[in-house]
Structure formats: C-alpha cells, structure tokens
Amino acid sequence: MGYYRFVVFTCFLAFTVIVLGAYTRLTDAGLGCPDWPGCYGQLTVPATPDQVTDTAYLEQRPLEPDKGWKEMVHRYFAGILGLAILFITIWSWRRRRDDPGQPVWLPTFLLALVVFQAALGMWTVTLLLKPVIVMGHLLGGFATFSLLVLLALRAGRRRAQSAAGGLRIAAAIGLLILIAQIALGGWTSSNYAALACLDFPTCQGSWTPEMDFDEAFVMWRGLGVNYEYGVLEHPARTAIHVTHRIGALVTALYLGWLVLALLRRGGGLRGAAILVGALLLLQLGLGVANVLMHLPLGVATAHNGVAALLLISLVYVNFRLWRRQH
C-alpha cells in the first residue's frame, strides 16, 4: 500500500473512531470502565465481578460488561488510529529525503494532536464526564479527521481552483461557523440537553420557554462531580438546546448561501457545492428527527457522523480555493 492510500485508509479509520465515540456516548457507556487505559485493571472487560482482581474499581462503579465493551472497542480503534498516525509521521519524514514537497509538519502536528486527544480521553473518564472535557474530546476527534483529510488532499496533489478573494474568505468563514456549531452540539450532548425540547419548531410548546443562560455555559464547575446524565436544571438545559437550534439556523442560512455562490461560479467546485448542500439538508433533517423521535440511537449517531462529513466537505472546498496555483 502506497503512502497516499494509507493516509486515505487512516481517514476512514478516524471517521470510524468518531462514530464509535458518538455511539459510546449516546449509550451512556462513557464510564463503562472506571479506569484508563484498561478496564477494571485489565486490557479486556471482565465478564463477572469475580474476575476483577482489584475490588476498589467495583467500589467506584459496578461492573456492566455491555457498557465496558462499548468503551473498550472505542479505545481499541482509537489506539490503532494513533499507531497509524505515528506510522504516517515517520513515513512522511523518510519520504522528505527524496521529495522536498512532502508535508512533514502537518503529520507531526497530527501526532501531537492524537497524543493530546488520548489525554482528553483519559480525563473524560477520570474527571467523570466533565462537559468541557467531553466537548474538547469530540472537537479533537473532528480536528484529527479533518487534518488527515487535508493531508490526503495534499498527498494527492489536487489542483487549486481559481477564485476571487471574497469567495475564499466566505468559505473560510463558513468553516469557522460550522466548527462553532459542532462545538455547540458537543456542549448540548455532554450536558444531556438534547431532550430538553421535545417539539419543533417550538420548545415545550413555546417560542420563549424558561431558560437559564447564566448556568448553561459555565465551563468549569470544580473537581469530583459526576456529570453522568447531567447536573444542570431543566431551564439551563433548555437554554443550551435553544442556542444549538439558533446556531443550526445561522449555519444553515450561511452555508446555503455559500452553496449557491459556489454553484453560480461553476467550475471544478460545482460537485463539491452540491455535496455540501446535500449533507447540510441531511444534517438538518437528522437534527429535527432527533427532537421529534426523542433521540433514537441510530439517528443521533448518524447526526454525529454527518456533521463530520459536512466538516470535511468544507475542508475540501477551502483547500481547493486557498491552495496556490502551480
């Protein structure tokens, strides 16, 4: 397998880790193992409490093998992803000897990012699902996926697309808006606010439900608090949910305009614009379905996966617009 194909394979692996992470979080298995990197002091999940050699772990959390395996499968795939990125980094530096155009600092940064991402995974467990850590872990996963796609694009030597400066800036702004909305989604999920509103487009039958913004966006609440199933009162969760909805509206309007601008320009980005538009509509539909169907596991997991695909589609658009012409 050549360098480019291995990077593409690693992109698919990173996407798998994102989906597995979402599935783990949505099935409340984030604390399925009370320790890290093992599970109850072992590299696999004990089948019964009798197999746990250190009973201190059982005092922290009763053994639930089903949740433990969901968490460990996510860790196994994340570990393989980390090794793949390490291999890419070493390979990149070796290729640089014969190819001065070979990117080396991007894979090196990716390696540092995945190490930090592993630390966030550990803190997610040891800090008992602290929302700011969970959100950071989600963003780290999306960043890893996006940078791997960027590395694949650079390795594939894709041609640049000529464009006016205004369109380039508009695409970059669109990318930033989407990242902010993904962060809001992570904050909504980590605070268990997805079900704060069970109707659409209103919330709790009102356009202005009771909301507590002062409590909704407190990033740090000290140590020793178990955040499983959330600690916020309902008005604070409602504020988070409504903010995510408003963010979705802003994102949809801006990206919809960007898609139309790209289509009007035509050229080599027409297909990418159609893809962004299709993913945007799908993501909006999944978001509404999550509310009306009360967060079904398949739909909620897909909502995370499509967000990642929408992100890399915008990364691709920005790459084509901003890359220098040769």
Long-range contacts of 59-67 (CB under 8 A, 24+ apart): 60/34, 61/31, 61/34, 64/32, 66/29, 66/32, 67/27, 67/28, 67/29, 67/31, 67/32
How far, in Å, are 160, 162, 168, 245 from residue 266 at the CA level?
14, 11, 14, 31
Q: Please tell me the pTM assigned to this model.
A: 0.94
Q: At what angle do helices 131-155 and 165-190 cross, to 10 degrees?
A: 140
Query: What does the radius of gyration of the chain's CA atoms come to, in whole angstroms?
Result: 21
Q: Identify the pLDDT of residue 162.
A: 60
Structure confidence at residue 161 (pLDDT): 62
Q: What are the φ/ψ torsions at residue 276 (nearest 5 degrees)?
A: -60, -45
pLDDT given at position 158: 62
Per the listing, tokens 């990033």 go with 219
Residue carrying structure tokens 């909504």 = 188
**CA dist., res. 233 & res. 283, Å (int):** 28
Question: Domain locations in the chain?
Answer: 1-157, 166-326
Q: What is the pLDDT along the chain (326 residues), one digit of tens a residue?
A: 799 999 999 999 999 999 999 999 999 999 999 999 999 999 999 999 999 998 899 999 999 999 999 999 999 999 999 999 999 999 999 999 888 889 999 999 999 999 999 999 999 999 999 999 999 999 999 999 999 999 999 988 666 566 667 899 999 999 999 999 999 999 999 999 999 999 999 999 999 999 999 999 999 988 889 999 999 999 999 999 999 999 999 999 999 999 999 999 877 899 999 999 999 999 999 999 999 999 999 999 999 999 999 999 999 999 999 886 54
286 and 302 in contact (C-beta within 8 Å)?
Answer: yes
Active site (catalytic) residues:
71
Phi, psi of 38 (to 5 degrees): -85, -170
